[in-house]
A and B are shown apart, each in its own frame.
Chain A
Amino acid sequence: MTRKRREALAAYAFLAPDVLGLLVFVALPMLLAFAVAFYKVDGFGGYQFVGLGNYRLMADDAQLLDSLRITGIYVLAFVPLAFLVSLGLALLVRDHFRGIGWVRASFFLPNVISLVVVGLVWQFLLVDKQGAVSGLLRPFGLEDVSLLGTPQLALATYILISVWFVMGYQMLVFLAGLKDIPADLEDAARVDGAGRWQRFRYVVWPLLRPTSFFVLVNSTIGAVTGLQAFDLVFVLTRGGPARSTSTVVFYIYEQAFTFNNVGYAAALTTLVVGLLVLCTGLMFGLTRGGRFSED
């Protein structure tokens, strides 16, 4: 066996557990969901083939449209906000200063906590009148404001908590991207008289394209299907108040586990996957997949 072949085999061996995991826990369930979408499932083992019946139901489902609208608002607010905050933090902690390790760790800390715990902590902080946040708002005469109990505020609150949760992870990704930028390029720009903003605009920002693309796609997928799109909603508001935080993933959960409409939930899942593929494709097209212009 040639050395090249041995190396290839070793690479495949290292990849095998991940590929196997992806096949068993991602690809196979996706295929099964696609198949189940053609059945009416009663939740107790009964399957009845209905063809495209589950997809036809979507047309008259006002609550589905509502949950898609809520998810859309969430994505449009969360993705750019998380992007800007994380990039800002990464720039802030890019250069070495005394205590930088602690600062970076404190920004990253929320990300290592279980989302359920995050939800419980924020629920405690945001309790009406008795919560710490109410205490902070009291001097401004806003102690009666219920951030999680008011439909007009709950989604915004939930977006801010999500940003707080992911900012550490995205900051690290940006930091890795920033570290990859050769220092001599910035130095050259500095010598040429470029100010801080100009160096960022004409040197750093263009070279961050691949990182930005990864963060954008990853963040969008996370916002639609990720744990924060379900776990946080479930713990904080259970889709309330008055359905104002009922994201599409939460709605799918409701269909599957409250109404036992497993077939319809599977059809909704394929719809969401389709929308995500579309969104990712759109981002890929608009940013040329994060490639540099000279690629």
Chain B
Amino acid sequence: MSVTRRTVLQGALGAFAAGSLLSACGNDAGGNGKDLSFWNFYGPADDKNPQSTWFGEITQRWNANNDVKVNLRYIPGKEYLNGSALQTAFQSGQGPDIFLISPGDFLRYYNGGVLQDLTPHLSEEAKADYIPGVLDTRMVDGKIFGLPMEVEPLALYYGHAAFEKAGLSEADVPKTWDQLLAVADKLTGTNKYGVLFETLPGYYQNFTWYPFMWMGDGEAVKDGKVAFDSAAAVQALKFWQDTVKGKMAPRKPLGDGGGDIGANLCSGAVAMQQSGIWSVSDLNAKFKKFEYGLTPLPLPAGGKAVTDMGGWAFVANAKGKNPEAAAKFCAWALASTDAEGVERQRQWNTVVKTNLPPRKSVQAAADKAGSFAQGALSTFAKDIVPTGKSEPRYPPEVYKAVSDAIQACQLDSADPGKAAADAAQRIDAYLKTYQGAPII
């Protein structure tokens, strides 16, 4: 048979159609269902850090007692959070059996039909053990599709040395936006900035900006309708803009940016930095000599105290090799109510990493061990966690509209009112055609 242009094209389209059909078959990951892949950004890491070890131990423990084995696949954090590995795998029908997702990215996967219902594998006791509200952004129609392994509230960290050098004391730690601008200005010098908010566009930047909008009672989407064109959103956009405009916050921070407390706060490049509860374990492990304090996020005039509660969740791939076994593993790893299960969670949330435990029994065990009795974790537990609000789950189109508004105001001197209105228009146009799980 002679090879013509037409036969080449037919062959290519045939290959494409075959790929489509394979993908449409559902259980397209292949394999015998006895070996499950667990993609994560913790382990096994080369340096065998405690968090990597925790992941290794839970899989070893599971594998020792189950026919279906779970194999960890480590993907570096940057690639997992901003790269294409996970998306490419799902697009080619080779998504992992178990993986981690943040609340901010929940809807993309749920609406794509790849999240397995975990509810049948959770006892009533386990469900009741979760702190009220903590599962909301992982639930649809009363069913649980993701189990949070942690809750991560945000706060404002500051370095004692920077304050002392500027002649400031604990009494000057800002409680309001106006105070923050004034103090940040005093802390800004030739080689350092007063304060740092994330400047790199992405899910993390949105996550850290939401509380400032919530303080004025604003939302991006409320009851399924756009709510972004509000005074609360405008004042929050303006506040972040003011920090850059006043040259008291960097446009391009060091290291990995807003989430990298070691490269920025500990190095002395900034005096105050917004970050999450996870930074406490980083500071304890890597920067033991660095003296710091932390405080709830400052408020606008008349605003209400609020922080964003992030935290990653285990999810099972509904189109994976063995969704039932994957779901069972997620439930066993994070929701077991026996002593071993509680201890496993306590280790993750207060020993190898610092978080707020998502379960009451784990919180009780942590309290008993004195984990939240003093220091930074005590401040989180007493002053910050009660003001927590779950990180919203927005589809990518909503997230991106908000992201563009933040970027335009923070770094391009856009008018906050116009930026909020433009974003609201984009969100509104999208919501009119949106078909998926409720946006909350």
Contacts A43-B87, A259-B396, A259-B400 given; indicate if A242 touches B15 (C-beta within 8 A): no
B:32-88 near A, CB below 8 Å: 82, 84, 87-88
Is A224's CB within 8 Å of the partner chain B? Answer: no
Any B CB within 8 A of the CB of A248: no
Say whether A240 contacts B108, CB under 8 Å. Answer: no
The reply to whether A238 and B202 form a contact with Cβ atoms under 8 Å apart is yes
Q: Are A243 and B199 in contact, CB atoms less than 8 angstroms apart?
A: no
A161 CB to nearest chain B CB (Å): 14
Interface residues of A in 214-253 (CB under 8 A from B): 234, 237-244, 253
B222 within 8 A of A: no
CB pair A45–B93 under 8 Å, yes or no, is yes
A238-B201 contact in complex given A42-B112, A44-B112, C-beta closer than 8 Å: yes
CB–CB A148/B252 < 8 A: yes
Q: Which residues of A contact B (CB under 8 A)?
A: 28, 31-32, 35-36, 39, 41-47, 123, 126-130, 138, 143-144, 146-151, 234, 237-244, 253-254, 256-260, 262
Of B93, B190, B202, B252, the contact of A149 (CB 8 Å cutoff): B252
The interface-forming segment of B16-24, B142-150, B346-354 is B16-24
Select B200's contact among A147, A238, A260, beta carbons within 8 Å: A238
Closest Cβ–Cβ distance, residue A118 to chain B (whole Å): 16
Residue from the list A32, A45, A254 in contact with B23, Cβ < 8 A: A45
Quick check: A241 and B87 within 8 Å, CB to CB? no
Smallest CB-CB A-B distances: 7 pairs: A149-B251, A45-B23, A44-B112, A242-B412, A241-B411, A31-B12, A149-B252
B25: min CB distance to chain A, Å: 8
Whether B163 sits at the interface, judged by CB under 8 Å, is: no
A241 touches B190 (CB 8 A): no
The complex places the Cα of A176 from the Cα of B201 at a distance, in Å, of 43
CB–CB B9/A129 < 8 A:
no
**Known A-B contacts A128-B253, A148-B252; A242 and B407 likewise in contact (beta carbons under 8 Å):** yes
Which residues from A are CB-within-8-Å of B319?
44-45
Partner of B407, one of A41, A129, A234, A240: A240
By a CB distance below 8 angstroms, the chain B residues around A28 are: 12, 15
Q: Establish whether residues A242 and B16, one from each chain, have CB atoms under 8 Å apart when the complex forms.
A: no
| Total residues of chain B contacting the partner, CB 8 A | 50
User: Is B265's CB within 8 Å of the partner chain A?
Assistant: no
Give the complex CA separation of A147 and B404 in angstroms: 20
* CB-defined contacts of A32 to chain B, threshold 8 Å: 12, 15-16
Q: Which residue of B lies closest to A151 (CB)?
A: B412
The answer to whether residues A44 and B114 also contact, given A146-B250, A238-B200 and a CB cut-off of 8 A, is: yes
New contact pairs (9) apart from A44-B95, A127-B250, CB-CB < 8 Å: A31-B8, A31-B13, A129-B269, A138-B190, A146-B250, A149-B199, A241-B407, A242-B404, A242-B407
> Given that A35-B13, A47-B23, A240-B200 are contacting pairs, would A259 and B397 also be in contact in the complex, using a CB cutoff of 8 Å?
yes
CB contacts (< 8 Å) of B114 on chain A: these are: 44
- Decide if B381 is an interface residue (CB 8 Å cutoff): no
Chain B residues positioned under 8 Å from A149 (CB to CB): 199, 250-252, 411
Which one, B84, B191, B201, contacts A239 given CB within 8 A? B201
The interface residues of chain B lying within 8 Å CB-to-CB of A147 are: 252
List chain B residues, Cβ under 8 A from A138: 190
From B90, B192, B407, B408, contact of A43 by CB (8 A): B90
CB-CB under 8 A for A242 and B414, given A35-B13, A36-B16, A253-B84: yes
* Pairwise interchain contact A150-B251, C-beta atoms closer than 8 A: yes
Neighbouring B residues of A39 by C-beta, 8 Å: 20
* A128: B residues at CB distance < 8 A: 193, 250-253
Tell whether, in the assembled complex, residue B411 and residue A151 are in contact, meaning their CB atoms are under 8 Å apart.
yes
CB pair B90 A44 closer than 8 Å:
yes
Set of chain B residues within 8 Å of A150, measured between Cβ atoms: 251, 411
Known: A143-B190, A257-B84, A262-B91. A129 touches B15 (CB 8 A): no
Residues of A within 8 A of B200 (CB): 237-238, 240
A144→B188 CA distance, assembly (Å): 11
Task: List A contacts of B404 (CB < 8 A).
Answer: 242-243
Looking at the assembled complex, report how far the CB atom of B261 sits from the nearest CB atom of chain A, in whole angstroms: 15
Question: Would you mind naming 14 contact pairs between A and B with Cβ atoms under 8 Å apart?
Answer: A35-B12, A43-B90, A44-B113, A47-B24, A127-B252, A127-B253, A143-B190, A144-B247, A240-B200, A241-B201, A242-B414, A256-B87, A260-B87, A262-B91
Query: Which of A44, A126, A144, A238 lies in contact with B82, CB distance below 8 A?
Result: A238
Q: Is the interface of A mostly helix, strand, loop or mixed?
A: loop
CB distance from A85 to the nearest CB of B (A): 25
Contact B254 A35 (CB under 8 A): no
Q: Which residues of A contact B408 (CB under 8 A)?
A: 242-243
Contacts of A260 in B (CB 8 A): 87, 91, 108, 112, 396
Minimum CB–CB distance from B104 to chain A (whole Å) comes to 12
Tell me the chain B residues, 384-440 only, with Cβ under 8 Å from chain A: 396-397, 400, 404, 407-408, 410-412, 414
Please report which residues of chain B, range 182-206, place their CB below 8 angstroms from some CB of chain A when the two chains form the complex: 190-193, 199-202
Complex contacts, B191 vs chain A, CB 8 Å: 129-130
What is the chain A residue whose CB lies nearest that of B396?
A259
Chain B residues near A244: list those with CB within 8 A: 412
Name the residue of chain B whose CB is nearest to the CB of A144. Answer: B247
B199 close to A241 (CB less than 8 A): yes
Given the complex, which residues of B lie within 8 Å of A258, measured CB to CB? Answer: 396, 400
Shortest CB distance B362–A (Å): 33
Flag whether B343 is at the interface (Cβ < 8 A).
no
Chain B proximity of A234: nearest CB distance (Å)? 8
The verdict on B28 contacting chain A, using a C-beta distance below 8 Å, is yes
Q: Who on chain A is nearest to B205 by CB?
A: A240
Q: How far is the CB of A102 from chain B (nearest CB, A)?
A: 33
Q: Collect the chain B residues with CB atoms within 8 Å of residue A257's CB.
A: 84, 87-88
Across-interface contacts of B397 in A (CB, < 8 A): 259
**Closest Cβ–Cβ distance, residue A241 to chain B (whole Å):** 4
Smallest CB–CB gap between B296 and chain A, Å? 27
Q: How far is the CA of A144 from the CA of B15 in the complex (A)?
A: 55
A256 CB contacts on chain B under 8 angstroms: 84, 87
Closest to A30 in B: B12
Q: Which of B8, B12, B190, B410 counts the most A-chain CB atoms under 10 A from its CB?
A: B12
Quick check: A129 and B193 within 8 Å, CB to CB? yes
- Please determine whether A126 and B252 come into contact, CB atoms closer than 8 angstroms: yes
- Cα distance A32–B412 when bound, in Å? 39
- Give the CA-CA distance A219 to B62 in the complex, in Å: 54
A259 to B84, CA, bound (A): 12
